[in-house]
Structure 1
Amino acid sequence: MSVDVPPAQADDEFWLFGYGSLIWKPPPHFDRRIPGWVTGYVRRFWQASEDHRGTPEAPGRVVTLISRSYWEQLTDHHGSAPNKVWGVAYRIKPDRVAEVKEYLDIREINGYTIHYTPFHPARGGEPIQTLVYIGTPDNEQFVGPQDPQALAEHIYRSAGPSGLNRDYLWGLEAALDELSPESGDEHVTDLSNRVRAIAARDEKEKEREQIGLQAATVGPEQVLRREQQHHEQTHDFRRGSSIDEQEETEKTSR
């Protein structure tokens, strides 16, 4: 695993920047958690995941950071990106730093390498030098720009030892929204909305398949009759509710 040279840090403090699952799944043994951002990067779902949200046979997709200067040379279907990449900085207890580094090396082993970057606390103050794990474009798991709809379909289908890939995406979206009114990421939000639309589409398809199975079992006439009865019951309920509301209104106006 390659490592950038760490910058000088006051009092030998060890800070870690999380921009993906570390936001809502923090490392162990931290004593401070600060929302904020880094600059000079773009967050994208361009890193394959064979060990957490996918498998070696069917890798999922997770986020990585890409230097903005490199990203600007690429053709990205999401053509804009915020200047700030929001996330969270964690201060690790001094006597636990070696243990946490070992834990992170295992957690982030699938293509990520260690780098250092200044972190800007949301509440102001001097930047903090933080360690960050990044899947750079030269790592084997980097997949690069993808069509957003194809990427959303891929995320929707993928799963691994840590769970469904879509839950990682939605978890990141929710975690970012909780940090600050300005911490949203349109790349993450757009993918989340696309995956929600795919889930709704699949749910409707399952409903249609269920109706088809019922028709094959009891006959189309009975299925139609059941649907008509359900419609009539719903209509009667709404009609009764409307009459009740009208009577209540009349009583009130007297």
Structure 2
Amino acid sequence: MSSGSGDVQNRDGEFWLFGYGLCRWLRPSVLASHQDHRGTPSSPGRVVTLIERSFWETLDDHHSNDPDKVWGTAYRIEAEKVTQVKDYLDIREINGYTVHYTKFYPADGSSTINTLVYIGTPDNDQFMGPQDPQKLAEHIYRSVGPSGPNIDYLLSLESALDSLSPESGDEHIKDLANRVRAVKDGVDSGQALTRELSRSSGTNDQEETEKQGF
């Protein structure tokens, strides 16, 4: 993968944008998101980035069971939309992401495509590194930013990846999504119990009042 300028525009002025489907890279939720997306400065959410496997395996906690292929989608941007799309992406991906260029390998075996991709690399301030998966799930459940709850981002990503191909599911994302759902179910059950106890207490107070003749 190159971080310099790349030849991603064809003769018609179109270019291809890569939505995270790259061989030999991992997609961990290790990038903080605050101010503009799924968290706040005091409680930054978590979003995914691409990390080269050779680097990830030097860290304390890597996903050794992950496959060597990370799925995603390549989007063809028409010439008349190129400036508009790039301007939008430069703003949207400002939180720790930088522009890179890479090849995209279509699932049907057709020729590779040169694409532009935004990646949060390990040398930026938002890179969090490996995190305990359960604590990460609890943090994602609590985080909310201008773009909405962090949990919505995670579950939407899980659904999108599952829909690409029978092979496209991401084990890291799936495990994290399951953990977040379990956290949510636990919180919902606790809230339901609290409401039930509150109603029960209110009923008992009313009965006691009636007994005393008030």
- Which TM-score applies when normalising by structure 1? 0.76
Is 1:154–2:155 an aligned residue pair?
no
Gaps of 5+ in 1: 20-36, 223-254
TM-superposed CA distance for 1:17, in Å, is 0.5
> Larger % of strand: which?
1
Is 1:48–2:32 an aligned residue pair?
yes
Runs of 4+ in 1 over 6 A off after TM superposition: none
SS at match of 1:213: helix
TM-superposed CA distance for 1:8, in Å, is 6.4
User: Which residue does the alignment assign to 1:114?
Assistant: 99
User: Could you tell me how far apart the structure 1 residues matched to 2:16 and 2:158 are?
Assistant: 23
Distance 1:206 1:13, change over 3 A: same
Is 1:93–2:78 an aligned residue pair?
yes
User: Could you tell me how far apart the structure 2 residues matched to 1:39 and 1:66 are?
Assistant: 11
Deviations along 1:110-141, whole A, 9 cap, x unmatched?
00000011101112211101100000000110
Contact conserved, 1:77 with 1:147, CA < 8 A, in 2?
A: no
Match of 1:214 among 158, 181, 199: 199
Contact conserved, 2:8 with 2:16, CA < 8 A, in 1?
A: no
User: Which residue does the alignment assign to 1:6?
Assistant: 6
User: Which residue does the alignment assign to 1:171?
Assistant: 156
Is 1:75–2:76 an aligned residue pair?
no
Contact conserved, 2:46 with 2:150, CA < 8 A, in 1?
A: yes
> Larger % of helix: which?
1
- Which TM-score applies when normalising by structure 2? 0.90
Higher mean C-alpha deviation, range 70-79 or range 186-195: 70-79
Q: CA RMSD in A?
A: 1.9
SS at match of 2:178: helix
Q: Which has the larger radius of gyration?
A: 1
User: Could you tell me how far apart the structure 2 residues matched to 1:94 and 1:215 are?
Assistant: 65
Distance 1:169 1:8, change over 3 A: closer
Is 1:131–2:116 an aligned residue pair?
yes
User: Which residue does the alignment assign to 1:228?
Assistant: none
Identity %: 59
User: Could you tell me how far apart the structure 1 residues matched to 2:107 and 2:120 are?
Assistant: 25
